[in-house]
Amino acid sequence: MNTRATFKTLGALLLFLGVMLLTPIPFSLYYRDSAVMAFVISSVISLIAGASLFWGIRAPIRLSYREGFGIVTLGWLAFAVFGALPFLFSGTLGNPIDAYFESMSGFSTTGATVIANLDVVPESVLFWRATTHWIGGMGIIVLTLAILPFLGVGGMQLFQAEVPGPTADRLYPRIQDTAKVLWGVYFLLTLAETILLMVGGMSFYESVCHSFATLATGGFSTRNESIGAWNSPYIHLVVTTFMLFAGVNFSLHFYALRGRVGSYWKSHEFRFFVTVLLVAFIIIFIGNLARYDGVGNNAVDTIFQVLAITTTTGFTTADYELWPVLSQYILLFLMFLGGCAGSTGGGMKVVRILLIVKHAYHQLFHHIHPRGVRILKVDRKAVPDEVMQSILGFFALYMGLFVVGSFVMSLLGLDFVTAGASVVACLSNIGPGFGDVGPTDHYVRIPMVGKLILTWFMLLGRLEIFTVFVLFFPSFWRK
């Protein structure tokens, strides 16, 4: 491993983070909160650390796939550490583990929180929480590839290590151009939602915070009641629409902006995604009929929560733990499913589940017709055997981590429901789960050791397991 190039690149990332830590200061000055110096000090620390690595190490940045995996994992860990400083210095959180948990939850777009009462948190700190979502949503590395030209050398290794999904869509020959396009689409959607939320009566500050959280599928809100604080069908509709956009492959949005709107329906993954959403909505809607006075309220809450869970955004407008057991089981399944590949959503990704279903059908077909020949395809393209093997391996690791994690969390004294729900909620980057971490609760009561474990699951979920796990195999580092 080229250690010098790796840490020099990490220095560049920390320099970028140091600049981003200054962005909440205008809100701090406007609202006259007490967190100005917290961000100044945090920024200075990050800038000094970044400058020491970037200019202190004299080495060309030449990256192989080994350095790519190392930089992505270490970069996310470093961002979570330095991004936690404002929570500590502002007094919002008094424990370093809690601050690290909140920071990792933000950057990984999980949205799990250890802040019990948002009403007493400075507005600038809440804006920083939302900003961590927005930075982590499309990806820290993808953003730096777009704005730091020198990372174009070896950029594909970084891009493939961070972008979610079985394969990384390359829209242009130069990976830097692809990163710029993805962030451009991301920015346009964020701007559009911000404007629409302001039209609905939200302040500029809260519109930006919720747009950041929506497009990143993070779910950090500025209100304790989340989106439910605005009893506005218009705002619910806007957030619902943009959660759907965030859960879809951003490459399809790019094609649509170029005039190829039909690209959505040509995508097998998109059609499967929409079908699952419709089926889940119909079943839960029917099950909730007896619990709502009006059909309209039932429909609004149901589609909102189905999308919030499936896209792993984690916003809430209703306490779904009061819904029928069947509805809760469906939501639990949707937690595992997640968004589409190439989206900002977490979970196992729709395309993986689609291909596993297709693979199971093909295996059944071969048992019935041993001499029959069927090629596994998606979007009219044959799926290489190595991709299918990677998907099956990912599925096995994902479920294994869920089982082992649930067992470990139960050893810490959590009940059966909370132990399992906290693991899947963090591994799938959702945030709210069931039990003591349900939609009306938070992670304050989780033991400190449990919080550290869950931050690890957040990272594994955001970087899709393999990127992190390969670093622990000695054979990976052998030339």
Residue 307 in 3-state DSSP? helix
pTM here is: 0.91
| Predicted pLDDT of residue 258 | 87
Where do the DSSP E strands lie in 229-283? Answer: none
* N-terminal to C-terminal alpha carbon distance within the chain: 9
Alpha carbon separation from 74 to 3, 7, 12, 81, 301 (Å, rounded): 12, 9, 13, 10, 39
Using pLDDT thresholds of 50, 70 and 90, give the confidence band for residue 164.
low
Gyration radius of the chain's alpha carbons: 22
Q: What is the mean pLDDT of residues 177-181?
A: 75
Q: What is the mean pLDDT of residues 325-350?
A: 91
Using pLDDT thresholds of 50, 70 and 90, give the confidence band for residue 144.
low
Q: Which of 2-11, 374-383, 444-453 has the highest mean pLDDT?
A: 444-453
Overall number of domains in the chain: 1
Residue 142 falls inside a structural domain: no
Residue 401 falls inside a structural domain: yes
Contacts of 273 (CB under 8 A, 6+ apart): 247, 248, 339, 340, 350
Phi then psi dihedrals of residue 382, to 5 deg: -65, 140
Render pLDDT for 296-326 as a digit per residue (tens, 0 to 9): 889 999 999 999 999 999 999 899 999 999 9
Give buried/exposed letters for 78-98 (b at 16+ CB in 10 A, else e). Answer: bbbbbbbbbbbbbebbeeeeb
71 has pLDDT over 90: no
Q: Higher-confidence residue: 373 or 238?
A: 238
| Predicted pLDDT of residue 372 | 73
Do 236 and 228 form a contact (C-beta atoms < 8 A)? no
379 has pLDDT over 50: yes
Alpha carbon separation from 245 to 112, 204, 270, 274, 338 (Å, rounded): 22, 21, 11, 12, 13
The domain of 429 spans 387-477
Query: Token digits for 93?
Result: 């959180």
Using pLDDT thresholds of 50, 70 and 90, give the confidence band for residue 153.
very low
- Listed as own residue / partner, the contacts of 195-199 with beta carbons closer than 8 Å and 24 or more positions apart are 196/238, 197/235, 197/238, 197/239
Residue 427 falls inside a structural domain: yes
Residue 355 falls inside a structural domain: no
Q: Which of 158-167, 287-296, 338-347, 376-385 has the lowest mean pLDDT?
A: 158-167
Residue 418 falls inside a structural domain: yes
Residue 400 falls inside a structural domain: yes
| Predicted pLDDT of residue 406 | 96
| Predicted pLDDT of residue 381 | 83
Residue 437 falls inside a structural domain: yes
Residue 39 falls inside a structural domain: no
Q: Higher-confidence residue: 148 or 400?
A: 400
| Predicted pLDDT of residue 152 | 46
